[in-house]
Structure 1
Amino acid sequence: MDSQSPALRGADLLPDTGDPGFGVYVHWPFCAAKCPYCDFNSHVRHQPVDQERFTAAFLKEIAAMRALSGPKTVTSIFLGGGTPSLMKPQTVEAILNGIAGAWHVPAGIEITMEANPSSVEAERFRGYRAAGVNRVSLGVQALNDRDLKFLGRLHDVDDALKAIRLARDIFPRMSFDLIYARPKQTVEEWERELKEAISYAVDHLSLYQLTIEEGTPFFGLHKAGKLVVPDGEQSAALYEATQEITAREGLPAYEVSNHARPGAESRHNLTYWRYGDYAGIGPGAHGRLSQGTEKLATATERKPESWLEMVERDGHGLLESEPLGYEEQSDELLLMGLRLKEGVDLARWQQLSGRDPDPKREQFLLDHGFIERLGNSRLRCTPSGMLILDSVVADLAC
């Protein structure tokens, strides 16, 4: 796996040719602490995780997914979580070698690892790089210590900047996340923080509005009136400022929450949004695997220890492996594709759904400036439509 390939550094966003590629997602479910806004499948363990045992289980599940997918050429690998940067470099290397043994992995494909600044060490980063990781995504989340504490992060701003510098030095590509629309955050404060972030960025930023998810500590506080987030008007103003500043600084949005210099878009995430296939491996991982004209939706056991026992017993931790009908596939294609600036390939949507978009609904959305046609081949949301994306998708899917 030569991650120094000129093709990786080389530049242009892969065009949507109708073949969005095949990604492999590996979920490492463990964190040092659970953030109060997080509803991901992440777990805190106060005893050391048996990484050798989990590695053996990942390799078994990789083999099981290979049996479901058949031979494939991998176009991207993503190590997510949880906090994958809590893995030993040897664990990462073994998993990547397992993937390369199961499918064809060309030299230079994008191999991303999520990392938290609090778990960053230079030698560990160099170990990941030697294992084949060539892109890192850092969970920075804020650039002031007050809000980092509010968000339950274990790092401070100094830790974040150290991690960014290390990532820039060691990996060919680097991205980091920020959360905005925090309580009492003004547009002016966010603009200053965003401009500072852009000064540290290399080629990619992920910028998410804070959402209150059911089952999280923030949900209870919000319901009790103890946590107040910006209202719709303020959220829209923050979103619009985000789009304006990133576009001006050369990091335009290519997806509702993701911004990149041209050619530096996340190839793995483009596979999701273009509704490609991906194998989901590890506790709580989801996947989509084509089998002839059908697409198989897969999901694994969420609890790490239960998943481990299932894999050791059965060779996989699958709880679901259900074929999706054409209507379900067309709805998912619409849901994912309208997140992208490039929009949805209408011919592909029509092929799956067996129909054209409802002309009255489409015309209503066109008249109100929420969607637009790109010739006869593509349909996309306008900036106004992105603000009400869920409603636009629901209208078009009917």
Structure 2
Amino acid sequence: MEPTGPDHPTRDAGFGIYLHWPFCASKCPYCDFNSHVRHAPVDEPRYLAAFRAEIAHVAARTPGRTVTSVFLGGGTPSLMRPETVAGLLEAVAAAWAMAPEAEITLEANPTSVEAGRFRGYRTAGVNRVSLGVQAFDDASLKALGRLHSAAEAFEAIRIAQTAFARTSFDLIYARPGQTPAAWRAELTDAVARAAEHLSLYQLTIEPGTPFFGLAAAGRLVPPDDEVSRALYDVTQDVCGAAGLPAYEISNHARPGAQSRHNLLYWRYGEYAGIGPGAHGRLVTGAGRLGTVTERAPEAWLARVEGAGHGIVETETLAAADQGDEFLMMGLRLSEGIDPARYAALKGRPLDPARIEALVGDG
């Protein structure tokens, strides 16, 4: 059995629960996430029962943990009824101890933001909301395939900040035709509206998405490397001046307002992945395990109803892989990584000569 005290290199970042709700009202043309559009109403009670079963299965493998964060991601979790969210969170609290200050985040789209529904989520136990705004002007929102207008986005931000003490919203930049001056104006407006946290992602053209086909056909031209770099520099400049410095490549926060759940990933903590297509990293007597669940929602549902869980892949991670994952995740953070933790995971220290060569290259 591995040691599990405070010095254990994979335990000290906390224990998180990721709950994947895979349904969306529409599929955005840039999105390669595991999200699905269903034109018939989703049977929420049936899915909730399956989530309860999978939570119980994972909890049996991870006794004695204290949950430090829960993240309801998707898909669009804000399409769920508040009673369903309450049922999910009750199942988590029944399976593990909850830290008194556990961060419980729900992702929402502006089209599904209603004041009453948000009060319902707060009553259910959600204490942080992350809004998928993506742009502050209607033309860009339309081009990105979003269903909401800029006015709806502004109202959603206002409602979220009224209902919750902790909020964040996402924007996508490096959009086709976007100039650094236009991005500076949009971002200046965004930081004025942001309470404590912003996620700012450069548009990436992912294989298998409609945008990939358009780009290949020359009908969608993202900014070149030079303009992309200028847009990145504007991002750091505007956010830094507003007191929202980057703590991770794409994430900006006031001091103390970082996303604790995402920090858990980047600090290589332990987390359970529950729901269709969710990934987990669990520390057991057999070592650190990587888990993956069935990706297709209906197939996951059938598997859980038959076997009690939807996990289709469990891999015991070798020390070399753990060290590499820890390094890859940790170097996304402005705080960097602790070389001693790397050595404990990898089984050997970082090579000082290689580090010296990289520093020499700038």
TM-score after normalising by structure 1? 0.87
* Secondary structure of 2:101's aligned partner: coil
* Secondary structure of 1:75's aligned partner: strand
1:280 alignment partner in structure 2:
273
Instruction: State whether residues 15 and 270 of structure 2, in contact with CA within 8 Å, keep that contact through their aligned partners in structure 1.
Output: yes
2:181 alignment partner in structure 1:
188
The aligned runs of 1:240-389 (5 Å cut-off) are: 240-292=233-285, 294-369=287-362
1:126-146 C-alpha deviation (Å, 9 max, x unpaired): 100000001000000000000
Mapped to 2, the partners of 1:49 and 1:293 lie a distance apart of 38
Partner amino acid for 2:126?
Answer: V
Superposition deviation, residue 17 in structure 1: 11
2:44 alignment partner in structure 1:
51
1:97-119 C-alpha deviation (Å, 9 max, x unpaired): 00000000133311000000011
Partner amino acid for 1:295?
Answer: R
Mapped to 2, the partners of 1:20 and 1:122 lie a distance apart of 34
* Secondary structure of 1:146's aligned partner: helix
Partner amino acid for 1:98?
Answer: A
1:241-298 C-alpha deviation (Å, 9 max, x unpaired): 1111111110000000000000000000000000000000000000000013711000
* Secondary structure of 1:152's aligned partner: coil
* Secondary structure of 2:105's aligned partner: strand
Superposition deviation, residue 358 in structure 1: 2.7
Superposition deviation, residue 18 in structure 1: 7.1
Shift in alpha-carbon separation, 1:91–1:201, aligned structure 2, 3 A:
same
2:231 alignment partner in structure 1:
238
The aligned runs of 1:90-101 (5 Å cut-off) are: 90-101=83-94
Q: Does 1:32 align with 2:25?
A: yes
Partner amino acid for 2:84?
Answer: T
1:7 alignment partner in structure 2:
none
Instruction: State whether residues 10 and 269 of structure 2, in contact with CA within 8 Å, keep that contact through their aligned partners in structure 1.
Output: no
* Secondary structure of 2:12's aligned partner: coil
Instruction: State whether residues 11 and 270 of structure 2, in contact with CA within 8 Å, keep that contact through their aligned partners in structure 1.
Output: no
306-315 or 223-232: which moved more? 223-232
Aligned to 1:154, which of 147, 156, 177? 147
| 5+ residue gaps, structure 2 | 1-8
Mapped to 2, the partners of 1:44 and 1:189 lie a distance apart of 33
Mapped to 2, the partners of 1:346 and 1:293 lie a distance apart of 24
Q: Does 1:112 align with 2:105?
A: yes
The aligned runs of 1:130-169 (5 Å cut-off) are: 130-169=123-162
Aligned to 1:201, which of 194, 197, 202? 194
Instruction: State whether residues 10 and 283 of structure 2, in contact with CA within 8 Å, keep that contact through their aligned partners in structure 1.
Output: no
Mapped to 1, the partners of 2:162 and 2:49 lie a distance apart of 32
| 5+ residue gaps, structure 1 | 1-15, 370-398
**Which structure 1 residue ranges, 4+ long, deviate > 6 Å from structure 2?**
none
RMSD: 1.2
* Secondary structure of 1:33's aligned partner: coil
2:220 alignment partner in structure 1:
227
2:4 alignment partner in structure 1:
none
Superposition deviation, residue 68 in structure 1: 1.9
**Aligned pairs, number:** 354
Instruction: State whether residues 342 and 350 of structure 2, in contact with CA within 8 Å, keep that contact through their aligned partners in structure 1.
Output: no
Mapped to 1, the partners of 2:286 and 2:337 lie a distance apart of 20
Instruction: State whether residues 68 and 101 of structure 2, in contact with CA within 8 Å, keep that contact through their aligned partners in structure 1.
Output: no
Mapped to 1, the partners of 2:252 and 2:99 lie a distance apart of 26
Q: Does 1:68 align with 2:45?
A: no
1:378 alignment partner in structure 2:
none
Instruction: State whether residues 289 and 317 of structure 2, in contact with CA within 8 Å, keep that contact through their aligned partners in structure 1.
Output: yes
The aligned runs of 1:70-89 (5 Å cut-off) are: 70-89=63-82
Mapped to 2, the partners of 1:234 and 1:361 lie a distance apart of 31
Shift in alpha-carbon separation, 1:18–1:51, aligned structure 2, 3 A:
closer
Shift in alpha-carbon separation, 1:54–1:293, aligned structure 2, 3 A:
closer
Mapped to 2, the partners of 1:24 and 1:224 lie a distance apart of 41
Partner amino acid for 1:30?
Answer: F
TM-score after normalising by structure 2? 0.96
Mapped to 1, the partners of 2:310 and 2:70 lie a distance apart of 20
Partner amino acid for 2:354?
Answer: R
Indicate the percent of aligned positions where both proteins have the same amino acid: 63
Instruction: State whether residues 276 and 293 of structure 2, in contact with CA within 8 Å, keep that contact through their aligned partners in structure 1.
Output: yes
